[in-house]
């Protein structure tokens, strides 16, 4: 009986020794993917290089919380003006006009007939 208990304990230790490096590798891979996704998403924000990580997060949260397209456009325009001021202070040049919206419904494939239940092209 003791022998089986000891064998079971040894087997559990060996198995966990194998699983831990795999788990750590999975966590590292997941963190790397998240970081890459955040960097890609950050580049969609006008003036992203002039903002802190926290400012980018707050901007995204404000855009998500906006109830209408008009509200998002107002937030986007205000942000653009703030970034123009910040760029001027730092000696960086930015375009005069804010970029077109990139939110839901503004990207490729968002036209009539595309998307769920839209019927697609015939």
3-class DSSP string for 32-75: HHHHHHHHHHHHCCCCHHHCCHHHHHHHHHHHHHCCCHHHHHHH
Q: Quick check: 73 and 62 in contact, CB under 8 A?
A: no
Q: Is residue 71 part of a domain?
A: yes
Q: Is residue 9 part of a domain?
A: no
Q: Is residue 20 part of a domain?
A: no
pTM of the model: 0.50
| Number of domains into which the chain is organized | 1
pLDDT in tens, 95-117: 776 656 554 444 444 344 444 44
- Domain of 55, in residue numbers: 30-93
Q: Quick check: 45 and 51 in contact, CB under 8 A?
A: yes
Q: Is residue 78 part of a domain?
A: yes
The yes-or-no verdict on residue 87 having pLDDT over 60 is yes
Q: Quick check: 80 and 98 in contact, CB under 8 A?
A: yes
**Cα Rg, the chain, nearest whole Å:** 25
Q: Is residue 38 part of a domain?
A: yes
């Amino acid at each position: 009986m003791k022998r089986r208990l000891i064998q079971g304990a040894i087997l559990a230790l060996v198995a966990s020794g194998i699983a831990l490096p795999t788990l750590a590798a999975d966590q590292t891979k997941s963190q790397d993917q998240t970081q890459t996704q955040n960097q890609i998403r950050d580049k969609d924000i006008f003036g992203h290089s002039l903002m802190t990580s926290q400012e980018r997060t707050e901007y995204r949260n404000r855009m998500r919380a906006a109830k209408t397209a008009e509200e998002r456009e107002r937030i986007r325009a205000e942000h653009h003006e703030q970034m123009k001021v910040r760029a001027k202070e730092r000696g960086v040049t930015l375009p005069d006009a804010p970029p077109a919206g990139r939110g839901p419904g503004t990207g490729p494939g968002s036209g009539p007939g595309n998307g769920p239940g839209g019927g697609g092209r015939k």
